[in-house]
Amino acid sequence: MKRISILERQIFDFLGYQWAPILTNFVHIITVILGLFGTVQFRPRYVTGYAVWLVLWVTWNIFIICFYLEVGDLSKDSDLIMTFNMSMHRSWWMENGPGCRVTPVTPPPSWAPEDHRYISIAGCLLEYQYVEVAHSSLQILLALVGFIYACYVVKLISEEEDSFDFIGGFDSYGYQGPQKTSHLQLQPMYMSK
């Protein structure tokens, strides 16, 4: 579910040319793969790294929610944050949201770039910023579930590693291997050329 959700989000961010979310989603996909690898291969460092990333992921999604709801000085109309000031694109959902009707405005204003179309959007059942907030909220819920799961897996792996003594057997059962007493004393051996 988590992989499907992030892939869906990545696709729509690509369609909207929003570079900051694209890069963050890409790092998230790689981290999810490493977390799954760590779980399958019993590597607690990978799973711990995944859990740490999830904290950053929740922080990013809280920022996205605040950005689209324009909390504080954040503005969803800013080009710098989401597109690194490289394009005039916005969320894909702005034009393609549920029930949205896009109509071109003619003639375009004099300040509009010639290679872009100037449009009017009306009739949306759900404004695009709320779709983005819903996506981020879903990611936060999935991240919280993933964080709890990651902590549980790290605990299980750590307990499993601590319960086995690789040299003497199982220490928890008080098993002591047979003690050999030897009257031979080990001496270093020197090789002559």
Predicted local confidence at residue 136, as pLDDT? 92
- Residue with structure tokens 């010639």? 114
Mean pLDDT of the chain: 78
> Beta-strand (E) ranges in the chain?
101-104, 119-122
pLDDT per residue as tens digits for the range 117-148: 666 778 888 888 898 899 999 999 999 999 99
Alpha-carbon distance 148 to 153, whole Å? Answer: 9
- Phi/psi of residue 169, nearest 5 degrees: 105, -145
pLDDT per residue as tens digits for the range 150-169: 999 999 988 876 655 555 55
pLDDT-derived band at 113, boundaries 50, 70, 90: low
Q: Which residues contact 155 (CB under 8 A, 6 or more apart)?
A: none
Which value, in Å, is the radius of gyration of the alpha carbons in the chain?
28
- pLDDT of 31 over the 60 cut: yes
